[in-house]
Structure 1
Amino acid sequence: MVLVVIVTSSTGCTSDDGDEPVEVEAGQVEQVDATAIEDTATAAVGLPSGVLTLEVAQDLGSVPSGKGSLEPVDEGVTLLGLEWSFEAHPSSDARSVLLDGRQPQDLPQPTLTVVDGGAEVPVPITAQAGRSGATVVGVSDPLGIEVTYDGFTQTVDPGTGAVGAGPAESLLELATATTSVDRLCDARDFPVAATLDNGCQVAAIHRLPYVAGLGWAPDSRSWLVVDARIEGKATMLLGDDPGTVLDSAAPSVVRAAFVVSGDAPRSVSFDFGRSIGVVSVPLEP
């Protein structure tokens, strides 16, 4: 695709109220007041850093602005109105796991792009808590809106606001990604002499499409992050996979991330070595 950015504008005849209209070409982006955009379709886009809400209006004929009335340069161009606002995820266990020891301001910034025929028109946004803005984009063949975060793109239908979110849909309600559990190793799985010094407990599981230290889970799957407490020395396993150990947990917790798809696994295992072997812990009641 061709990347188009037009910042120049031209003027036409005088409007009825005495202000000169500003003619907007295809690919031109103009900032406006949010109140100037009406009759919108709403889209909520879940991101690792928060939720980006878009209000989209198509086929605008004239939009007031600080420069004057914005109008299409000719019949082949229409105005697409975009109002955006961003809210960071509230504090939760899942948010802490996703951040993986980082601060929210350290996360990548998303990009917003209007796809107009074979051209891509970037629209500037700032994904920080409480920030908002509104723009008008000159378009000739608006095909969609793309929100890209760290290499993963979600698409927005400008007519309906429908979002092609894929695995990112779960980021709309991040707090629901965590399930607190209390599953202990069965003492009967240990030799009698080993029960005093060895044990394990699964404390929580988190199902996330993105973890800051790992990025998006591959192939549109998700990360299953397991928090466990281990007495003695053991490696947490999902099947034969040791996963990736994350350093962001509390000192008493071992946190490991595994790539999964479909239904959540029914158990995880702990390999205590040759003297004890592998002990499985169910994740379901």
Structure 2
Amino acid sequence: MRGILGGLILFLYLAAAPVEAVELVPPGNRNVEQPPIPGASARRTAALQTTYATKYRRIYELLRNDATLRSKIRNAAAAFGIEPIHIIGAIVGEHTYNVDAYDQLQTYYVKAVSYFRSSFTFSYGGETIDEFLQRPEFAACAGEKDSYALWSCRENVWDEVFRGRTVGGKRFPEDRFSAVFFQPFFAGQTFGIGQLNPLTALQMTDMVHEVTGLAKINHTDPQGVYRAIMDPDTTLAYIAATLKKSIDAYARIAGFDISKNPGITATLYNLGNPETRAARLAAENRLRRKHGRALKWPEENYYGWLVNDKLEELEALAAES
């Protein structure tokens, strides 16, 4: 447990250290060429017998043809104090590189209902997530009150203690916490128009409840969790909350205002763990300042690069009534 506590102390130190100033990250890509696309994305696209360009155009057309969806996106963005382009960018990135879009929003509703009515649990090897969290290794997280801090702590414990190790005579996979316990159909599966995973939704539930009044979700009710991330009427709030968390984390921890660069917010939506990434960037830039070197700016990955590359087209879409 010393490794976990030491890591948490270091993270809290980095997160708490004051930034000298908040610098605006302007729109546009830092990379001239698109960063490499992971092989898993290429394999998924090949399996669907399609192309990235075709998938991009399909999700673009879904958004362009559905004024109601665009209105819901604007409302969700306004509730969380972000621009609609951030939500559109996240949705476009997911459906271009991870899944293919349905032709109509109604199909997302129909798909969601099929999961609400399914019988499944969040578990691994016969041990439910609720039972797993009673293990003494998670005692360090008991004092966390906010859902984001609580589930981030639990994820850290998983990575430090259980991932790829044998604990108490039980072997655990070398895989992400979300993939092992929170994706009962197959590992790597995400859901809904925002392609959120259940762990992200659990992290964001307090923020979503506070801003929108939507009921909180709980890991003991997996159907309720899936309802939140698959129903287009609720998942947009979770998408917006996730993006807002990234914007706030980079301003507070790393000293960068990324609110005008949807390629960066899309990148963080794709990668996750914005506070950890912001803390690492802040630490690197403290060293750079110390040695008189130029600051390292947040950079887009392949996913965010596309969003910035298509920014004019996507912003026009966001502005349509």
TM-score category (smaller protein): under 0.3
**Which of the two has higher C-alpha Rg?**
1
Provide TM-score, normalisation by structure 1.
0.20
Structure with the larger strand share:
1
Higher percent of residues as helix: 2
Q: Structure with the greater relative contact order (CA < 8 A, sep ≥ 6): 1 or 2?
A: 2
